[in-house]
Amino acid sequence: MIGLGVQAISCSSQKNLTTAKLGLNKEFVQTNLEDARKQINYLASSIQESDIPTTYKDGKYVNWGSSWWCSGFYPGTVLYLYEYTKDEKLLDEAKRKLKHLEKEKNNKGTHDLGFMLYCSFGNALRLTGDSTAYKGVLSTGAASLATRFHEAPKTIRSWDGGKNWDGQPWTYPVIIDNMMNLEFLTEVSKMTGDKRFRDIAIQHANTTMVNHYRKDYSSYHVVDYNPDNGSIISRKTAQGAFDESAWARGQAWGLYGYTMMYRETGEKKYLEQARNIAKFYLNHPNLPKDLIPYWDMDQNKLTKESKYYSQKDLRDVSTAAVTASALLELAQYTKGSESQLYISKAEQMLKSLSAKPYKADYKEAGGYILKHSVGSIPHKTEVDVPLTYADYYYVEALIRYDRMLKGEKVIKQ
């Protein structure tokens, strides 16, 4: 997501960024970030101070509250735009939302505190340097997240309660999305000196690498464990088309997560995992030419009898945004034609996202930046709508690309 501490990868790994051929120019980045600023300012003017945006549907704002997993993305997006524009009004807006979000540092009932606190308070600490205001929130939040780790499965539990598609209660479910919350732990470990947080992140990443991935490096969405001995009860999906499918955003979460874990640890096995995930994703025969994926990469296998058949061809803009940002980082840890491939594919994704039908016009979509994301078709929630996390990773990718144009590191410390 961002990066607060000392980077584990040597500066030599950054060299190819200055020699790679960049296909987008400063004007492209400036135009799209300025459009994003205008949209976010409009969104900010259209909601209540206590609202934390999630989506916009049927002409109405949908705000799920601070305990929803998406709550950190809006202030995080505002902070990224503040970083680029230096507009103090944006910083003020972010701080207003952080006041309503801070209480989630004590939330031990969610695995998503990385999304919620690190995208928001992590960016705030990085940009303001105000450790008095933000360090305590982050360290308390990391301690809350760590309570969900258990030794037998060696993973952080995702959900408490709920049932799978077969109507059976989950026992100890772990979803691939959880890879995205490990950066929170590794960075707070560096910030506080508490090695326990880093150890938990490494154990979770290692277990997920073994148990979540198929031979082709596609990922299952959910692995349900026996918490007493760590054995696997089942491999399922919750948001994909079917259990054995490659739910698109899940593939992006893994790509981003293992790229990040290589940065945080220097362990080459994480780099190899990220490269293999990227190969699966970019070479998938069902990936559209504009590189904005269907919500499930195996949606073409759905039959007319499937209850999702009528929605099978919906795109998920949020997946493309996450993937573009991840590929820009992965490019700095690889060389030659491979690095260039990642940059070129990320550029194509950014060009697609920055044009119709995916990018909203000014004041369209309630002030959200991108349209046509899919939250969860099986749950009938946030289907073909703008989503706050799509905006966050799109802006992050543009910020990362801007750094590349300046010859800077993609990850800002």
Rounded Cα distance, 411 and 33, in Å: 18
Task: Tell me the average pLDDT across 94-116.
Answer: 98
User: Cα-flanking dihedrals φ and ψ of residue 156, to 5°?
Assistant: -90, 125
> How far is 319 from 204, CA to CA, in rounded Å?
22
- pLDDT beyond 80 at 281: yes
Residue 14 has pLDDT above 60, yes or no: no
Cis peptide before 357 (omega within 30 of 0): yes
Nearest-CA neighbor of 28 among 413, 359, 252, 388? 359
Q: Could you tell me the pLDDT band of residue 9, with boundaries at 50, 70 and 90?
A: very low
The amino acid present at 382, given as its one-letter code, is E
Least confident of 10-24, 90-104, 151-165, 282-296: 10-24
DSSP three-state, residue 385:
strand
pLDDT score recorded for residue 88: 97
> 381 pLDDT exceeds 90?
yes
pLDDT tens, 56-98?
Answer: 999 999 999 999 999 999 999 999 999 999 999 999 999 999 9
For residue 166, the model assigns a pLDDT of 83
CB 247 within 8 A of CB 296: yes
- Quote the crossing angle between the two packed helices 195-211 and 248-265, to the nearest 10°: 140
Question: What mean pLDDT do residues 338-358 have?
Answer: 98
Which residues carry out catalysis?
112, 177
Instruction: Name the residue type at position 400.
Output: R
What pLDDT shows up at residue 167? Answer: 86
Residue 156 has pLDDT above 90, yes or no: yes
Instruction: Say if residue 401's pLDDT is above 60.
Output: yes
Do residues 51 and 45 lie in contact, with contact meaning Cβ atoms separated by under 8 Å? no
d(CA 36, CA 370): 9
Q: How does residue 12 score in pLDDT terms, banded at 50, 70 and 90?
A: very low
CATH numbers and ranges of domains, the chain:
11-405 (1.50.10.10)
Confidence of residue 165 (pLDDT cuts 50, 70, 90): confident
Alpha helix positions (H), 333-387: 336-353
Q: What is the mean pLDDT of the chain?
A: 95
pTM of the model: 0.96
